[in-house]
Structure 1
Amino acid sequence: MTPTQPDVTVIIGAYEAMPYLVECLASVEAQTLDPARIEVVAVDDGSADGTGDYLEEFAARAPMAVTVIRQENSGGPSGPRNVGLGKAAGRYVFFLDADDRLGTEALERMVAMADRNGTDVVLGKVEGVNRNAPKSMWGKNRDRTDVFSSNIKFTLSAQKLFRRAFLERHGMRFDESLWTGEDALFTMEAYLRADGVSIVADHTCYYLVGRDDGKHVTKSGSYTLRFDSARALMGLLERMVPPGPKRDVLMVRPFLVTLLPQFGPVFLRQDEEIRRKKFELAQPLMEAYWNEGVAQRLKVHERLRLHLVAMGRPDLLVDVLEFMKAKTEPKPVLRKRGTQLYLAYPHYRSRRAGVPDRVYLAEPREAKAYPGWRETPAETFLRGATRKVRRKLSRVKRRLTRPRGTAAV
């Protein structure tokens, strides 16, 4: 690090961001990290609402170095982020959306976490404001983890701290051909390439703000863009992760988060032409990437809907969606002395429909909520064996760490 090199470059891509930009920039100005250690690169992507002018005003009075770039509209968030990344000088970069804001101490805590552990990516706890935010990965601080042994695959937005030398070494940039999901592609690649990922879970570092003017990027765009996003992410996983359980674990994410919503309640409100087109777009993805390893990691209603998409049966899918819309609970069917639980959604055991029984079979994590289900002896044995191994390892660890000459109590 040179004496003048900032610790972190905050990259802000802004388009029609007023008045949200005011609080966004105020949150940058309020950071506890020394302003001399922060630089801001803000890219106005052809706004006509005063966004560029406000960025210029902020640059003139801000206590940290601020560079403002004004350009013609690029059509999406990737272009401005790539421009900002090309101008960044910090050891780390953080991508801040212009309608969101940083939590107090966010940059200080994330930079300290990365420096302490030598990790390439740091996630700071996210809190939603008028919108939902990911929750499953914030259980505790984690100095070092990866995408396979944590739930970070369910937060693929770009609002993370990235080591800039790491991004440059791998030539990483946002895909400007994607109009949505470009951050998922970028972040998943970073997770897979990173020398460790850290999580700051005990402090809110980022406020994800829901705009009330309907302009938020995740709420706009054609359904075809979602299929483009799913296709790109699935292709990345195919290239970077060999076939097997690890790939299946990660493939759950695009199937569950990107593809499945296209075959949810919205499907019932769409006309026949859109329904047909959706099945056409999904078919090559199902043929290439849908398998039992992915399917068994989903709940029954999720697995069933995707299986019907793979079968090319929109008629059966509509029956399932109508059943779910009515908030009808599927009848639980216990078999093999209560060790197998099937959830009888529409067309269960229907010869005419031809859906295999296994599609309706609840995995243990879902089945345990139903009275009467019990684990198989093998599952019970394995769980007990795991506990025994852990106890033995704990005893060995205590012996190894006990000071010499002391007796066990």
Structure 2
Amino acid sequence: MTVAQPDVSVIIGAYEAMPYLIECLASVEAQTIDQTRIEVIAVDDGSTDGTGEYLEEFAARAAMPVTVIRQENSGGPSGPRNVGLGKATGRYVFFLDADDRLGPEALRRMVAIADENGTDVVLGKVEGVNRSAPKSMWGSTVGRTDVYSSNIKFTLSAQKLFRRALLERHGMRFDESLFTGEDALFTMEAYLRADGVSIVADHTCYYLVGREDGKHVTKSGGYTLRFDSARALMTLIADMIPPGPKRDVLMVRPFVVTLLPQFGPRYLKDSDEVRRHKLELAKPLMEAYWNEDVARRLRVHERLRLHLVADQRPDLLKDVVAFVRAKKQAPAILEKKGRRLYLVYPYFRDREAGIPDCVYLADAREARAFPGYRESTVDTFMQRAARKVRRALPAREMRAAA
């Protein structure tokens, strides 16, 4: 008898996952999708806490087919995910971390929206449990979008539904040389290669669980790994997207999410040697990918810090970071009849520092919060131009024009 192809292969990489694994697997069993339409492939990555044994117990009693693979520790999440992906047979794959859990309708809703819209990647709404979770992309459920016209670039974790044919067609696997940010690289490539992306925002599909023992993978690793991650993601974007607005939109993500935190509050606690090293690591990335079009898409305090990183100005950077850490509201200066607003962070119009005014120029999103700001529009500009023309016309020509 021919066995029907499952809709979803749920791939679970597990290392020292007890007791979180219990709720994780229970959330798979609780899925409202027909359990004959899913398979589970669980890879125990050399655990010593009973994780492997519990996976085998689960496989023996579960209603859906479960494959358990036990291997020596690989040192990171990429290896187990790749092993699981190599065994998957479903039309779609979903990567579930062993310390997280699914919402009950997650797989049914994600498969349905992908099938309805013919999309290759589906994002299900994520909710944090004892930890933060991305928020900006869950405004509404969207049948079809892309990485340029949405905020999905700010959620590059692997916990998405991927059409397996897309991954196989492009030979996509997780980079096992990276020990942080490997999922960002994989997911960004999938976004860029996908024939459309869907968003399920009206149902919590994924619970991102903060472990009490602090062993969650995103908390591990030194600062040099973060620069490795930023470099890999920037290189991927540059290799796949030619210079221009589309590339600049995507570059915002590694600059703000991966690189900038290295020049946040922790920078003040770094030794002089570490500060110098961070600037050295950042220098080639700034030279290759930092430009005015990327800069203008950032908030002032983000833009200012990265400007100083690009200029290799540790003396000024430390003062700016201290100002940002204090969470002070930078004073505002309105010019051009209220249509231009500068935020007065340290060294604004300091002749010796020599930082251009444009670095401190707030965009409309930031400026709207300040009384007196008047947002310029194309219409008001055109209206002002038309008024100037009318004033310049002789009375007879103006009547004729009317």
Q: TM-score, normalised by structure 1?
A: 0.92
Partner deviation per Cα, 1:14-48 (whole Å, 9 max, x = no partner) = 01101100000000011111111110000000111
- Name the aligned partner's letter for residue 317 of structure 2: L
Q: Which residue of 2 aligns with 1:204?
A: 204
Q: Which residue of 1 aligns with 2:32?
A: 32
1:107-118 map, 5 Å: 107-118=107-118
Q: Which residue of 2 aligns with 1:119?
A: 119
1:52-131 map, 5 Å: 52-131=52-131
Partner deviation per Cα, 1:155-191 (whole Å, 9 max, x = no partner) = 1000000111111001100001100000000000000
* Cα root mean square deviation, aligned: 1.3
Distance in 2 of aligned mates of 1:380 and 1:231:
42
CA separation of 1:253/1:379 partners in 2, compared to 1, >3 Å: closer, same or farther? Answer: farther
1:335-354 map, 5 Å: 335-354=335-354
> Cα distance, 1:299 vs. partner?
0.6
Instruction: Note the residue ranges of structure 2 that are not aligned, 5 or more in a row.
Output: 384-402
Q: Do 2:7 and 2:37's aligned partners in 1 also have CA atoms closer than 8 Å? A: yes
> Cα distance, 1:326 vs. partner?
2.8
> Cα distance, 1:327 vs. partner?
2.9
How many residues were matched structurally? Answer: 382
Partner deviation per Cα, 1:321-348 (whole Å, 9 max, x = no partner) = 2222333322211122221111111111
SS in 1 for 2:156: coil
Q: Matched residues, percent identical? A: 79
Partner deviation per Cα, 1:204-240 (whole Å, 9 max, x = no partner) = 1000000110100111110100000000000001011
- Name the aligned partner's letter for residue 290 of structure 1: W
- 2:158 aligned with 1:171: no
Distance in 1 of aligned mates of 2:267 and 2:346:
17
- Name the aligned partner's letter for residue 373 of structure 2: W
Q: Which residue of 2 aligns with 1:22?
A: 22
- Name the aligned partner's letter for residue 109 of structure 1: R
- Name the aligned partner's letter for residue 30 of structure 1: A
Distance in 2 of aligned mates of 1:149 and 1:324:
30
> Cα distance, 1:376 vs. partner?
3.1
CA separation of 1:54/1:170 partners in 2, compared to 1, >3 Å: closer, same or farther? Answer: same
Q: Which residue of 2 aligns with 1:249?
A: 249
Distance in 2 of aligned mates of 1:105 and 1:119:
19
- Name the aligned partner's letter for residue 371 of structure 2: P
Partner deviation per Cα, 1:353-398 (whole Å, 9 max, x = no partner) = 1111110011111111111121236474589xxxxxxxxxxxxxxx
Distance in 2 of aligned mates of 1:73 and 1:218:
18
CA separation of 1:261/1:11 partners in 2, compared to 1, >3 Å: closer, same or farther? Answer: same
SS in 2 for 1:175: coil
- Name the aligned partner's letter for residue 59 of structure 1: A
Q: Do 2:180 and 2:229's aligned partners in 1 also have CA atoms closer than 8 Å? A: yes
Q: Which residue of 2 aligns with 1:44?
A: 44
SS in 2 for 1:268: helix
SS in 2 for 1:126: strand
Partner deviation per Cα, 1:46-99 (whole Å, 9 max, x = no partner) = 111111111011001111000000011111100000000000011110000000
CA separation of 1:272/1:161 partners in 2, compared to 1, >3 Å: closer, same or farther? Answer: same
Q: Which residue of 1 aligns with 2:11?
A: 11
